[in-house]
């Protein structure tokens, strides 16, 4: 049975692949990401109007280079290649690709002929983002140059007879000024796609999918009070009503007063029944003397499932476990849609045990945080819930470098509370994506009241982001940071130094572990 997926994105391993899908969805064009090796018959079933080849970390001339089924070029469907995808197309049609003498990473000026439809409504000389070490040496027959930069004579190429186009740069990243427009031009003017997808249609589709999947069974939904799990709970409530069993697990790794706040949110704002399970002793026991970040995440994931399965036995008919897993969680945990590199396991993706008996429901695992916020508003959630900063499932365990114990958790909670109080008081909470403190477990010499101290260092991490795939440190005024530092050192015993994290993602991640 054929469906109709307007645009299919073949993933060749770029960490930016998911941004292609996001840009297209922002333009109202629905798309799906599949592995580069997707069976050609499966692609035909999706009945796409266009196909995009993503970038990737490999070289097309390498022995282990990724190649799609060659039949894809014979489907008569428009194709757009990006970076690796461009070089792959050129090689397939008889051109050559070689290692460049001058690798190109960063901003470049794109020059092109304004009358070409893929550049419609854009201006020549716009900034684009290059990220490549290889270059086209010989252009394939039937292709022509339609765009160039100072360092890339083939910044954009086309074979209009075959409806195949390619960019050496990345239109999907923020730094390419007209990137969204270029992708939309491909979808609208070349693939003839209509802009009909929106978050409202996504909500209706997911609600119907959940009903068909669950039928008359019950779903245990793990909630945290954050926007992701709150949205999932609301979707489930719309889809299955009383067959939703919402469970909040106090794992002992929460921020100050988190449990009370979550209970209040579900009771007064979401109007949903909530079961609260105190499993803090079990989590802390399992984490004792564990210092490796990946091991922490896997232990936390396994413990969550054990607690959920124990709770499920108290209810009849529970076959499913619902989670607020996002696309970013999946991307960073494991490559389930292509050859992307693993960054870190998330407790609800790579950390789930093989022996788990639940069937998973993860309605948000194909969308990003900003889209989840829009979905929350579409479902009628209060704006203050939708705007909450992200809080990781493993909680404070991944904000303590090293062993997790009650004393360090208490210390970290106090510092985190002070930092958030100052952020709210100055209006910067609503201006930033995420903010937290980290216990480095690094001690340094200090002086307090003429006495020598040798105590802990606390790191403040505040970032700005749109979808969590990339992030920059927030430019917080020095007087606000100074107040945070002063209060933390004066009010929290055991701390004599506060530092501010000014690294971006990438190369760092937002969380420390």
Extract the tokens encoding 32: 């799906």
Peptide bond into 506 cis (omega under 30): yes
From 38, 104, 172, 511, the catalytic residue: 172
Classify burial at 268, counting beta carbons within 10 Å of its beta carbon; exposed 0-12, middle 13-18, buried 19 or more.
Answer: exposed
- The structure tokens 């890339």 sit at 152
Q: What are the φ/ψ torsions at residue 395 (nearest 5 degrees)?
A: 60, -140
Active site residue 172: yes
- The Cα 308–Cα 221 span in angstroms is 9
Q: Please count the other Cβ atoms lying within 10 Å of the Cβ belonging to residue 101.
A: 6
Which position among 83, 191, 193, 459 bears the catalytic label? 83
Q: Is 482 helix (H, G, I), strand (E, B) or coil?
A: helix
Structure tokens at 387: 């705007």
Task: Return the number of other C-beta atoms located less than 10 Å from residue 81's C-beta.
Answer: 25
Tokens (6 digits) for 18: 């998911």
For the four alpha carbons of 456, 459, 460 and 466, in that order, the dihedral sign comes to: negative
**Could you tell me the end-to-end alpha-carbon distance of the chain, in angstroms, rounded to an integer?**
44
| Residue 319 is among the residues annotated as catalytic for this protein | no
Cα separation, 439 vs 290, whole angstroms: 15
Place of tokens 């020549």: 124
CB-CB contact of 157 with 143 (8 Å): yes
Tokens encoding 258: 């988190």
Distance from C-alpha of 470 to C-alpha of 462, rounded to nearest angstrom: 13
Q: What is the DSSP string of 206-254?
A: HHHHHHHHHTT-EEEEEE-SSHHHHHHHHHHHHHHGGGEEEEEEE-S-P
Sign, CA dihedral 79-82-88-93, equals: positive
Q: Catalytic positions, please? A: 83, 170, 172
């Amino acid at each position: 049975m054929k469906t109709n997926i307007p645009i299919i994105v073949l993933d060749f391993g770029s960490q930016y692949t998911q941004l292609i899908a996001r840009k297209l969805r922002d333009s109202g064009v629905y798309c799906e990401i599949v592995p580069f090796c997707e069976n050609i018959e499966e692609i035909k079933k999706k009945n796409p109007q266009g196909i995009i080849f993503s970038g990737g970390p490999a070289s097309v001339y390498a022995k282990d280079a990724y190649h799609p089924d060659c039949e894809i070029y014979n489907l008569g469907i428009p194709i757009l290649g990006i970076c690796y995808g461009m070089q792959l197309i050129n090689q397939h049609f008889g051109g050559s690709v070689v290692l460049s003498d001058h690798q190109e990473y960063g901003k470049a000026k794109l020059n092109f002929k304004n009358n070409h439809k893929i550049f419609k409504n854009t201006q020549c000389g716009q900034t684009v983002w290059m990220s490549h070490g290889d270059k086209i040496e010989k252009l394939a027959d039937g292709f022509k140059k339609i765009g160039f930069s100072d360092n890339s004579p083939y910044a954009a190429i086309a074979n209009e007879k075959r409806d195949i186009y390619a960019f050496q740069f990345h239109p999907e990243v923020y730094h390419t000024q007209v990137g969204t427009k270029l992708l939309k031009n491909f979808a609208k003017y070349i693939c003839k796609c209509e802009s009909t997808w929106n978050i409202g249609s996504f909500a209706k589709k997911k609600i119907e999918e959940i009903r068909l999947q669950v039928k008359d069974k019950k779903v245990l939904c793990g909630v945290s009070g954050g926007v992701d799990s709150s949205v999932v709970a609301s979707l489930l409530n719309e889809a299955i009503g009383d067959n939703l069993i919402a469970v909040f697990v106090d794992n002992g790794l929460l921020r100050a007063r988190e449990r009370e706040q979550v209970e209040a949110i579900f009771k007064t704002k979401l109007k949903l029944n909530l079961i609260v399970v105190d499993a803090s002793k079990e989590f802390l026991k399992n984490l004792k003397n564990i210092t490796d970040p990946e091991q922490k995440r896997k232990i936390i994931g396994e413990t969550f499932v054990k607690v959920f399965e124990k709770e499920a036995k108290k209810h009849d008919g529970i076959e499913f476990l619902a989670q607020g897993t996002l696309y970013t969680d999946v991307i960073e945990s494991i490559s389930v849609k292509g050859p992307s590199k693993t960054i870190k396991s998330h407790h609800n993706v790579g950390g789930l045990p093989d022996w788990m008996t639940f069937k998973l429901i993860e309605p948000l695992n194909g969308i990003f945080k900003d889209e989840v916020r829009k979905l929350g508003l579409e479902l009628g959630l209060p704006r203050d819930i939708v705007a909450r900063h992200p809080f990781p499932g493993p909680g404070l365990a991944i904000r303590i470098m090293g062993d997790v114990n009650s004393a360090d958790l208490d210390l970290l909670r106090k510092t985190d509370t002070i930092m958030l109080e100052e952020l709210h008081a100055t209006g910067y909470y609503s201006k930033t994506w995420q903010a937290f403190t980290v216990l480095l477990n690094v001690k340094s010499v200090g002086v307090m009241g003429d006495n020598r101290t040798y105590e802990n260092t606390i790191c403040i991490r505040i970032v700005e982001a749109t979808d969590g795939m990339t992030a920059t440190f927030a430019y917080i005024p020095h007087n606000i940071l100074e107040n945070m530092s002063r209060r933390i050192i004066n009010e929290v015993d055991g701390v004599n130094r506060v530092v501010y994290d000014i690294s971006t993602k990438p190369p760092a991640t937002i969380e420390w572990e």
